[in-house]
Amino acid sequence: MQINGIAHTFITAGNFASARAFYAQLLPFMGLTIVADTVNTFYCVGGRTGFGIHAPAEEYAGQRFRQGTVGLHHHCFRARERADVDEVYNFLLKIGAHIIHAPQEDNFAPGYYSVLFEDPDGTRLEINHVPGKGLLAPGTQIGGGYADGTQNG
Protein backbone atom coordinates (compact mmCIF):
# COMPACT_ATOMS: atom_id res chain seq x y z
CA MET A 1 0.00 0.00 0.00
CA GLN A 2 1.24 3.49 -0.76
CA ILE A 3 -0.61 6.68 0.13
CA ASN A 4 -1.39 9.29 -2.50
CA GLY A 5 -0.73 12.49 -0.56
CA ILE A 6 -2.70 14.05 2.27
CA ALA A 7 -6.45 14.29 1.67
CA HIS A 8 -7.05 17.21 4.01
CA THR A 9 -5.94 19.08 7.09
CA PHE A 10 -8.37 20.90 9.37
CA ILE A 11 -7.39 23.31 12.10
CA THR A 12 -9.55 24.95 14.73
CA ALA A 13 -9.37 28.73 14.74
CA GLY A 14 -9.58 30.68 17.98
CA ASN A 15 -11.10 33.60 16.10
CA PHE A 16 -13.05 32.01 13.26
CA ALA A 17 -14.10 35.27 11.58
CA SER A 18 -10.53 36.56 11.42
CA ALA A 19 -9.12 33.22 10.28
CA ARG A 20 -11.85 32.82 7.67
CA ALA A 21 -11.06 36.26 6.21
CA PHE A 22 -7.34 35.35 6.05
CA TYR A 23 -7.79 31.91 4.48
CA ALA A 24 -10.47 33.20 2.06
CA GLN A 25 -7.69 35.30 0.52
CA LEU A 26 -4.73 32.92 0.86
CA LEU A 27 -6.17 29.57 -0.24
CA PRO A 28 -7.80 30.76 -3.50
CA PHE A 29 -4.57 32.67 -4.29
CA MET A 30 -2.76 29.33 -4.05
CA GLY A 31 -5.23 27.73 -6.49
CA LEU A 32 -7.57 26.03 -4.03
CA THR A 33 -11.33 26.21 -4.61
CA ILE A 34 -13.78 27.02 -1.82
CA VAL A 35 -16.07 24.00 -1.42
CA ALA A 36 -17.60 24.78 2.01
CA ASP A 37 -18.21 28.15 3.63
CA THR A 38 -20.62 27.95 6.57
CA VAL A 39 -21.00 29.63 9.96
CA ASN A 40 -18.45 27.24 11.49
CA THR A 41 -16.45 25.71 8.61
CA PHE A 42 -14.34 27.03 5.75
CA TYR A 43 -12.81 24.41 3.44
CA CYS A 44 -10.90 24.55 0.17
CA VAL A 45 -9.62 21.87 -2.21
CA GLY A 46 -7.06 21.93 -5.01
CA GLY A 47 -3.71 20.54 -6.07
CA ARG A 48 -4.52 17.18 -4.43
CA THR A 49 -4.83 19.08 -1.15
CA GLY A 50 -7.69 19.95 1.15
CA PHE A 51 -7.33 22.55 3.88
CA GLY A 52 -10.01 23.82 6.20
CA ILE A 53 -10.76 25.62 9.40
CA HIS A 54 -13.43 25.06 12.01
CA ALA A 55 -14.83 27.45 14.58
CA PRO A 56 -13.77 26.56 18.12
CA ALA A 57 -15.95 25.15 20.86
CA GLU A 58 -17.30 28.03 22.93
CA GLU A 59 -14.86 27.47 25.80
CA TYR A 60 -11.87 27.79 23.43
CA ALA A 61 -12.97 30.89 21.54
CA GLY A 62 -10.26 33.55 21.49
CA GLN A 63 -7.38 31.20 22.26
CA ARG A 64 -4.23 31.41 20.17
CA PHE A 65 -2.01 28.72 18.72
CA ARG A 66 1.16 27.94 20.71
CA GLN A 67 3.80 26.17 18.68
CA GLY A 68 5.58 23.52 20.70
CA THR A 69 2.55 22.34 22.67
CA VAL A 70 0.99 18.97 21.94
CA GLY A 71 -0.64 18.83 18.51
CA LEU A 72 0.12 20.58 15.27
CA HIS A 73 3.60 22.09 14.95
CA HIS A 74 3.05 23.74 11.56
CA HIS A 75 1.50 23.02 8.18
CA CYS A 76 3.57 23.19 5.00
CA PHE A 77 2.15 23.54 1.50
CA ARG A 78 4.40 22.41 -1.36
CA ALA A 79 4.86 24.79 -4.29
CA ARG A 80 5.45 23.52 -7.82
CA GLU A 81 8.20 26.06 -8.58
CA ARG A 82 10.73 28.04 -6.54
CA ALA A 83 9.29 31.28 -7.99
CA ASP A 84 5.91 30.36 -6.46
CA VAL A 85 7.43 30.79 -3.00
CA ASP A 86 8.51 34.32 -3.91
CA GLU A 87 5.10 35.06 -5.42
CA VAL A 88 3.19 33.94 -2.32
CA TYR A 89 5.60 35.92 -0.11
CA ASN A 90 4.73 39.11 -2.01
CA PHE A 91 1.03 38.25 -1.66
CA LEU A 92 1.46 37.67 2.09
CA LEU A 93 3.03 41.10 2.43
CA LYS A 94 0.05 42.64 0.62
CA ILE A 95 -2.50 41.02 2.94
CA GLY A 96 -0.49 41.89 6.05
CA ALA A 97 0.41 38.35 7.15
CA HIS A 98 2.87 37.98 10.03
CA ILE A 99 6.07 36.75 8.37
CA ILE A 100 8.41 34.57 10.45
CA HIS A 101 11.02 34.40 7.71
CA ALA A 102 11.11 35.66 4.15
CA PRO A 103 11.95 33.17 1.38
CA GLN A 104 15.21 31.44 2.20
CA GLU A 105 17.15 28.28 1.54
CA ASP A 106 17.54 25.74 4.33
CA ASN A 107 19.33 22.42 4.68
CA PHE A 108 16.22 20.28 5.30
CA ALA A 109 16.57 18.80 1.78
CA PRO A 110 18.63 19.63 -1.32
CA GLY A 111 17.35 22.92 -2.77
CA TYR A 112 14.82 23.43 0.07
CA TYR A 113 13.38 26.96 -0.28
CA SER A 114 10.54 28.29 1.83
CA VAL A 115 8.64 31.14 3.43
CA LEU A 116 7.28 30.77 6.99
CA PHE A 117 4.37 32.84 8.32
CA GLU A 118 1.42 32.81 10.74
CA ASP A 119 -2.33 33.03 10.37
CA PRO A 120 -4.28 35.45 12.60
CA ASP A 121 -4.34 32.90 15.48
CA GLY A 122 -0.58 32.41 15.26
CA THR A 123 -0.76 29.00 13.54
CA ARG A 124 2.51 28.51 11.69
CA LEU A 125 2.24 27.93 7.96
CA GLU A 126 4.98 27.33 5.44
CA ILE A 127 5.16 27.17 1.68
CA ASN A 128 8.19 25.39 0.27
CA HIS A 129 9.71 24.14 -2.92
CA VAL A 130 12.09 21.19 -3.10
CA PRO A 131 13.35 20.39 -6.59
CA GLY A 132 13.59 16.89 -8.00
CA LYS A 133 13.22 13.97 -5.61
CA GLY A 134 14.31 15.92 -2.53
CA LEU A 135 15.16 13.55 0.31
CA LEU A 136 14.33 10.54 -1.88
CA ALA A 137 17.15 11.29 -4.34
CA PRO A 138 19.88 8.64 -4.26
CA GLY A 139 22.81 9.68 -2.07
CA THR A 140 20.87 12.37 -0.21
CA GLN A 141 22.35 12.63 3.25
CA ILE A 142 20.05 13.11 6.26
CA GLY A 143 21.26 12.93 9.84
CA GLY A 144 23.51 9.87 10.24
CA GLY A 145 22.69 8.24 6.94
CA TYR A 146 21.19 8.49 3.51
CA ALA A 147 17.58 8.56 2.40
CA ASP A 148 17.96 5.03 0.97
CA GLY A 149 18.68 3.66 4.47
CA THR A 150 22.46 3.17 4.18
CA GLN A 151 24.73 4.74 6.77
CA ASN A 152 27.52 7.22 6.19
CA GLY A 153 30.93 6.96 7.83
Range of the domain at 107: 9-134
pLDDT in the model for residue 136: 85
- Exposed/middle/buried for 146, CB within 10 Å: 0-12, 13-18, 19+? middle
Tell me, yes or no, whether 4 lies in a domain.
no
Domain tally, the chain = 1
Tell me, yes or no, whether 153 lies in a domain.
no
Residue 41: band (very low, low, confident or very high) from pLDDT cuts 50, 70, 90:
very high
Reduced to 3 states (helix: H, G, I; strand: E, B; else coil), residue 70 is: coil
Q: What is the mean pLDDT of residues 66-77?
A: 93
Tell me, yes or no, whether 143 lies in a domain.
no
Closest CA to 51 of 30, 81, 79: 30
Determine contact, residues 19/120, Cβ cutoff 8 Å.
yes
Percentage of the chain beyond pLDDT 90 is 78
- Rounded to the nearest angstrom, the gap between the alpha carbon of residue 7 and the centroid of all alpha carbons in its chain is 14
Average pLDDT, the chain: 91
Alpha-carbon distance of 109 to 146, in angstroms, equals 11
pLDDT digits (tens, 9 = 90+) for 123-143: 999 999 999 988 888 877 665
pLDDT in the model for residue 21: 98
Tell me, yes or no, whether 67 lies in a domain.
yes
Ramachandran class of 96: left when φ > 0, alpha when ψ lies in -120 to 50, beta otherwise: left
Tell me, yes or no, whether 63 lies in a domain.
yes
Tell me, yes or no, whether 45 lies in a domain.
yes
pLDDT in the model for residue 5: 83
Q: What is the pTM of this model?
A: 0.87
Residue 46 maps to which CATH number?
A: 3.10.180.10
